[in-house]
Amino acid sequence: MPDWEAVFLPTTPPAELVVRGTVTFLMLLVLIRVTGQRESGGLGITDVLLVVLVAQAAAGGLAGDSHSIADGFVLVVTILVWSVVLDAVAYRWPRAAAVLKARPQPLIKDGRLNPRVMRREFMTREEVFSQLRLHGIRDLGQVSRAYLEPNGMISVIRHDDTGTDPPPAPKMLG
Asked whether residue 116 falls in the same domain as residue 152, the answer is yes
pLDDT tens across 128-172, in order?
999 999 999 999 999 999 999 887 889 999 987 655 455 555 555
Q: Do residues 12 and 89 share a domain? A: yes
What three-state secondary structure class fits 92?
helix
DSSP for 13-45, please give it.
-HHHHHHHHHHHHHHHHHHHHHH-SGGGTTS-H
Of 100, 124, 149, the last residue of a domain is 100
**95 and 148 inside one domain:** no
Total structural domains in the chain? Answer: 2
Residues 6+ apart with CB under 8 A from 143: 108, 110, 111, 132, 137, 156, 157, 158, 159
| 174 is a domain residue | no
| pLDDT value, residue 23 | 81
β pairing state of 112-113 and 105-109: antiparallel
Determine the pLDDT at residue 91: 92
Q: pLDDT tens digit string along 92-118?
A: 999 998 888 888 999 999 999 999 999
Top-confidence residue, 159 or 7: 159
Q: Clarify whether residues 9 and 90 are in a common domain.
A: yes
37-53 mean pLDDT: 67
pLDDT number for residue 124: 93
pLDDT surpassing 50 at residue 81: yes
Strand partners, 106: 147
What is the residue-averaged pLDDT of the chain?
A: 79
What is this structure's pTM? 0.59
Cα 37 to Cα 123: distance, rounded to the nearest angstrom: 11
In a domain, 164, yes or no: no
Let me know if residue 143 belongs to a domain.
yes
Q: Are residues 95 and 21 in the same domain?
A: yes
Q: Calculate ∠ Cα 119-120-121, nearest 5°.
A: 90
The phi, psi pair for 113, rounded to 5°, reads -70, 150
pLDDT confidence of residue 94: 92
Say whether both 113 and 94 belong to one domain.
no
pLDDT at 174: 42
- Are residues 93 and 111 located together in one domain of the fold? no
Same domain for 18 and 71? Answer: yes
pLDDT at 71: 76
Decide if 163 is inside a domain: no
Domain that holds residue 130: 105-158
Residues 9 and 68 in one domain: yes
Q: Has residue 140 been placed in a domain?
A: yes
CB 68 within 8 A of CB 7: yes
Q: What is the CATH number of the domain that holds 131?
A: 3.30.240.20
pLDDT at 143: 95
| Residue 111: predicted pLDDT | 93
Whether residue 61 is contained in a domain is answered as: yes
CA distances from 54 to 58, 75, 77, 157 (A): 6, 8, 9, 37
89 pLDDT more than 60: yes
CA angle (49 as vertex; 46, 55 as ends), nearest 5:
140
